[in-house]
Structure 1
Amino acid sequence: MEYRIVEDINEMKLDDIVRLLRTTYWADKRPVEKIEKSVQNSKCYGLYLEEAENLVGFARVITDYATNYYLSDVIIDEKYRNKGLGKALVSHIVSSPELQGLRGILVTKDAQKLYSQYGFEVVDGRVMLRNP
């Protein structure tokens, strides 16, 4: 399955991001204005397939680029799950040069198995950390 990951928010459509986030339990009621503001103030990653016109994966990182980063809003379109795309997206993010040497933080209630493959460890129920 051919895919590409983009890091330029200008290559992603807000409507596509909203569409993906509306399918989640954590952001399904988040107002569009908040989604737009969160995207503008984060490092965003989009995943596109050769066969699909629209965004099929999305994630964003909040960071100071010095000590910590917070991985948030990781989502793969339901039609494309279980094909390794979530792994590809998370792998790309955690190997990004600008995040090397930083502690990673995330909160999840159902994806600890995915993130543990990339060095994140559960520290308090839903909170996971990845030490540099």
Structure 2
Amino acid sequence: MAAIEYSCDPARLDIAAIVRFLQQESAWARGESAGRICRALEHSLPFGAYAGLEQVGFARVITDRATFAYLSDVFVLPGWRGRGVGRGLMAAVLAHPDLQDLRHFLLVSREARPFYRTLGFAPLEAPERFMRLARPHVQYRPHP
């Protein structure tokens, strides 16, 4: 197996591959516009997993880098799954110096909850204290 390198350098991101995966293969952003995906990337702390020049995994963190972070858009390309790429990617995310002293690090996951539990994530202790403003008419606009 090729050595995997992890980086949070935005210049290394394969934006086209990220957009393609999120639009076509993800359950959570299928059909989202490329413009909205790119805007989200620009305002996040991005992490890529690379086998040579090929980007094989991705994650992004939305954060104030002081108290709160939200993990989003985590994926590993199908041909690279089961090789520890996701675990390595999450190790890079959790080791980032700007994410060390946060009080809250949240994520939403339907299928990968057992994986995230192994990394220390747990269900909300007091879900009755959390609220959200849902705007379903804004969330997913199919790209033209």
**TM-score band (shorter)?**
0.7 to 0.9
**Rounded Cα–Cα distance in structure 2 between residues aligned with 1:122 and 1:85:** 24
Opposite residue 63 of structure 1, the aligned amino acid is T
Opposite residue 50 of structure 2, the aligned amino acid is Y
Using structure 1 for the length normalisation, give the TM-score.
Answer: 0.87
Equivalent residue for 1:41, pick from 31, 40, 43: 43
Where structure 1 has 5 or more consecutive residues not aligned to the other structure, the ranges are: 128-132
**Rounded Cα–Cα distance in structure 1 between residues aligned with 2:113 and 2:91:** 14
| Higher mean C-alpha displacement, 33-42 vs 88-97 | 88-97
8 Å contact from structure 2 (residues 66, 98) kept in 1:
no
Counterpart position of 1:69: 69
SS at match of 2:54: coil
Using structure 2 for the length normalisation, give the TM-score.
Answer: 0.80
Higher alpha-carbon Rg: 2
8 Å contact from structure 1 (residues 65, 98) kept in 2:
yes
Identity over aligned residues, as a percent? 34
Where structure 2 has 5 or more consecutive residues not aligned to the other structure, the ranges are: 131-144
Q: Which structure has greater strand proportion?
A: 1
**Rounded Cα–Cα distance in structure 1 between residues aligned with 2:5 and 2:75:** 15
Cα distance, 1:108 vs structure 2: 0.3
Aligned residue pairs: how many? 123
RMSD: 1.5
Kindly indicate whether structure 1 or structure 2 has the higher relative contact order, using CA contacts under 8 Å at least 6 residues apart: 2
**Rounded Cα–Cα distance in structure 1 between residues aligned with 2:74 and 2:12:** 17
